Amino acid sequence: MAFRKDFLWGGATAANQCEGGYNEGGRGLANVDVVPIGKDRFPIISGQMKMFDFDDEHFYPAKEAIDMYHRYKEDIALFGEMGFKTYRLSIAWTRIFPNGDETEPNEEGLKFYEDLFKECHKYGIEPLVTITHFDCPMHLIKKYGAWRSRELVGFYENLCHVIFNRYKGLVKYWLTFNEINMILHAPFMGAGLYFEEGDNKEQVKFQAAHHELVASAIATKIAHEVDPENKVGCMLAAGSNYPYTPKPDDVWAGKEKDRENYFFIDVQSRGEYPAYALKEMERNGIEIKMEDGDKELLKAHTVDFISFSYYSSRVATTDPELLEQTAGNIFASVKNPYLEASEWGWQIDPLGLRITMNDLYDRYQKPLFIVENGLGAVDTPDENGYVVDDYRIEYLAAHLQAMKDAVELDGVDLLGYTTWGCIDLVSAGTGEMKKRYGFIYVDRDNDGNGTLKRTKKKSFDWYKKVIASNGEDLTN
């Protein structure tokens, strides 16, 4: 068999896209709460961020999301029925520290996640917990400027001390920052960053990135000290860049795009800033302010495994005439004429997953964990709420076969696989509900209407069969 006997099959969600209960249980306000539905939901204007609070004009989907805050037992029971070995979820920072800078945590928030983790174990499901999945307390954004401030490293460290100690024995697998490279492409969504008039945006972003990298090393250090059984991973939005043509300039453009994403993981996995990144910063006049001990900290506390999201490959070129771009997890790319695309314009490339896995494993020689992969699509339920989603099954089966080839034929060391949005949830990019990924249909529309009733789709039983066969049976 291709996959190890203890392969971690499961699904993934994020607190800000499924929990809801934004003002319950002592929870504070976060950046992810105050972004409205819409294509341009992260507008940044010079001098002031628009989204410091709610207004009466917009709908804010994260307020209620799919109400997993009140329904997690029902949802985890469904995950257990599918045979999940792991469930990737995130902690809402503001449930634990409502403002982010308190010295003492919110007990009600701690108890919520303790109960949720225990519910997972009831079904033999190992929690895989992302400490920060884009969320940053609004208080830290307003008072400190979010991750541009070194003080956030200390607040994050405090959060880590609390959760690693409280959940010792309940959680073994941790991720420090979700898609950490997103800070360069979507700074407010990725890290709560906004820019004042006159800011050198690149300087601010790279300094904030350094603070997150230091915080990640500190988290890894604390996790291993609290429980040597803990395994800590980094997480990037992955997808290898193909050159548009064999022209050497295009090949080089692809390499540069790859490096842009690998930079963070180079630091988290190898423990130091890569030479190409230092030279790039030097050319652009970016000076990273490091404190004494930062370099030693990064070197001494690298991650145990590399986790990543994969939705599509990308294409790079230097040809200014090739202006047609395709969508894809924030990262725009030149359109690949050899690939089909989803309803949202994300190009579908199963072999690209195998290529990406090999690129990452060759580069880092550490175990990999695919923690996001899936197809966002419009699902049309019948009169009973049932969805025949053969298109989703076809997409996932093709990607699982490519993943299997990477393990069985190429020797890639893979810990597990979690599909994104195993239950329908709010889209991070647009705030929509109609862009569905799940095996479980949730009765809710883009405007917040619906009963929130959960209904199994056809893919539910298909994935149950996949897990039961440890990936050997991918047939529809």
Instruction: Point out the residues that are catalytic.
Output: 372
Q: List all residues 6 or more positions away from 320 whose beta carbon is below 8 Å from its beta carbon.
A: none
Whether the CB-CB separation of 41 and 61 falls below 8 Å is answered with: no
**Per-residue CA distances from 205 to 222, 298, 452 (Å):** 26, 19, 38
Alpha helices in 240-349, H assignment, sequence order: 248-270, 275-283, 294-300
298's tokens: 């990064």
**Using N-to-C axis directions, what is the helix angle for 248-270 and 275-283, rounded to 10°?**
110
d(Cα 89, Cα 444) in Å, to the nearest integer? Answer: 21
Q: How many CB atoms lie under 10 A from the CB of residue 338?
A: 9
* Look-up of token digits 């029925």: 81
Among 374, 284, 280, CA closest to 88: 374
Taking CA atoms, 72 is separated from 187, 317, 441, 454, 475, in Å, by 30, 45, 15, 12, 30
- CB 351: neighbour CB atoms within 10 A? 15
Pairing relationship of beta strands 325-326 and 340-341 according to DSSP bridges: unpaired
Provide the β-strand partners of residue 132.
177
Helix, strand, coil content of the chain in percent (nearest 5): 40, 15, 45
- Give the Å distances, CA to CA, from 114 to 108, 118, 120: 10, 6, 10
Residue 322 is encoded by which pair of tokens? 């090739």
Q: How far apart are CA 189 and CA 34, in angstroms?
A: 11
Helix (H, G, I), strand (E, B) or coil at 200: coil
Rg (CA), the chain: 21
For the record, the structure tokens of 3 come out as 């996959």
